[in-house]
Amino acid sequence: DSPSVCLQPIIDSTNQYLMNRIGELDSGSVCLAEYQQAGRGRRGRQWFSPFGANLYTSMYWRLEAGMAAAMGMSLVVGISVAKTLNRLGADGVKVKWPNDIYWQDKKLAGVLVEMTGQAGGAAHLVVGLGLNVSMRDKEGGQLDQPWTRLEDACEALPDKNQLAAALINDLISALRQYEQHGLGMFIEQWQALDNYYNRPVKLLIGESVIRGIARGIDAQGAILLETEKGLVPFVGGEISLRGE
Ligand code: BTN
């Protein structure tokens, strides 16, 4: 295997760049940019990508286990990123199901996993990470949800190249572990990092709202809510604190 690294000052989207080249890449290949003209987020949203202020990076991964293993993998991505940031001095970085990164109840980073592949075959995944590093209020002011940046979460901001290298290396190790052992060994780590664990939340799925107490994830990667009907797993939707 020989993963490649692509560094671009300006790009449409680092995810798109890798999606266009899937047949040519080895697992672990990455693309990083300083600015994205068409950065994208989950649910068809755009990802605001001001020049030089943040980290925009994507990694290609070939998942032999196929599409069914993608849900677990996206949780492992969140766990890996949160652990790396905690280790680099951002105390109290948490995860929000399925794979957002939070600090003090505000969004610090987002993960977008895109994939192609055929039933029964390997899945080809592109994992994109957008991490707010030093974005200013005037740059991010119009965002529609509370956000924060690494500069606020860290006493000393790590060097951006070292930060990128640590995130990428840790992610490669975590994905290898996941491929070997599955999600089971990550469930406790998730619990320790879960921003919502044991807190009253609501889950928005389409038009319906489910209220409950968040109790982590199950072995399939579903979010567990304790509702009036007992402990119920959910595989979709968006969670938030009750009262928000
Ligand atoms: C989200 O929270 O909605 C996910 C945001 C993912 C943004 C990153 S930035 C690098 C990569 N390239 C993209 O176009 N999107 C992801």
The label of the residue with tokens 């005037």 reads 138
The per-residue pLDDT for 144 is 83
Cα-based angle 78, 154, 172 (whole degrees, multiple of 5): 30
Q: Does one domain contain both 137 and 222?
A: no
Has 42 been annotated as catalytic?
yes
Question: Is position 14 annotated in a ligand binding site?
Answer: yes
Question: Is position 41 annotated in a ligand binding site?
Answer: yes
Residue 112 beta carbon below 6 angstroms from any ligand 1 atom: yes
Write the pLDDT tens digit of every residue in 153-185: 999 999 999 999 999 999 999 999 999 999 999
The per-residue pLDDT for 140 is 75
3-state secondary structure of 147: strand
User: Can you tell me the distance from the alpha carbon of 131 to that of 124, in angstroms, rounded to the nearest whole number?
Assistant: 23
Q: Does one domain contain both 231 and 110?
A: no
**Residue 237 φ/ψ, nearest 5 degrees:** 100, 180
Write b or e for each residue in 108-127: b if 16 or more Cβ atoms lie within 10 A of its Cβ, otherwise e.
bbbbbbbbebeeeeebbbbb
User: Can you tell me the distance from the alpha carbon of 27 to that of 14, in angstroms, rounded to the nearest whole number?
Assistant: 15
Q: Does one domain contain both 52 and 129?
A: yes
100: its two tokens: 């957002």
Closest C-alpha residue for ligand 1 atom 7: 130
Q: Does one domain contain both 57 and 131?
A: yes
**Residue 26 φ/ψ, nearest 5 degrees:** -100, 155
Q: Does one domain contain both 219 and 135?
A: no
Q: Does one domain contain both 171 and 201?
A: no
Contacts of 1 (CB under 8 A, 6+ apart): 26, 27, 28
3-state secondary structure of 199: coil
26: its two tokens: 């080895």
* Catalytically annotated residue among 107, 149, 202, 215: 107
Residue 199 has, within 13 A of its CA and on its CB side, a CA count of 16
Q: Does one domain contain both 110 and 208?
A: no
18: its two tokens: 């890798």
Residue 100 near residue 94 (C-beta atoms within 8 A): no
* CATH code for the domain in which residue 217 is found: 2.30.30.100
Q: Does one domain contain both 16 and 135?
A: yes
Nearest alpha-carbon partner for 101 in 114, 91, 90, 111? 111
Q: Measure 231 CA to ligand 1 centroid, in angstroms.
A: 32
The per-residue pLDDT for 118 is 84
Q: Does one domain contain both 158 and 222?
A: no
Q: Measure 227 CA to ligand 1 centroid, in angstroms.
A: 32
Cα-based angle 51, 76, 27 (whole degrees, multiple of 5): 70
The total number of structural domains in the chain stands at 2
Q: Does one domain contain both 37 and 52?
A: yes
Q: Does one domain contain both 167 and 226?
A: no
The label of the residue with tokens 């990455």 reads 30
200: its two tokens: 């009253």
What does each of the 244 residues of the chain score in pLDDT, given as a tens digit?
A: 789 999 999 999 999 999 999 999 999 999 999 999 999 999 899 999 999 999 999 999 999 999 999 999 999 999 999 999 999 999 999 999 999 999 999 999 999 999 998 888 999 999 999 999 999 887 877 788 899 999 999 999 999 999 999 999 999 999 999 999 999 999 999 999 999 999 999 999 999 999 999 999 999 999 999 999 999 999 999 999 987 6
Q: Which domain holds residue 43?
A: 5-192
In Å, the largest CA–CA distance within the chain is 52
Q: Does one domain contain both 84 and 177?
A: yes
The per-residue pLDDT for 132 is 97
The per-residue pLDDT for 244 is 66
Has 107 been annotated as catalytic?
yes
AA identity, residue 24: E
Nearest alpha-carbon partner for 170 in 71, 76, 60, 54? 76
* CATH code for the domain in which residue 30 is found: 3.30.930.10
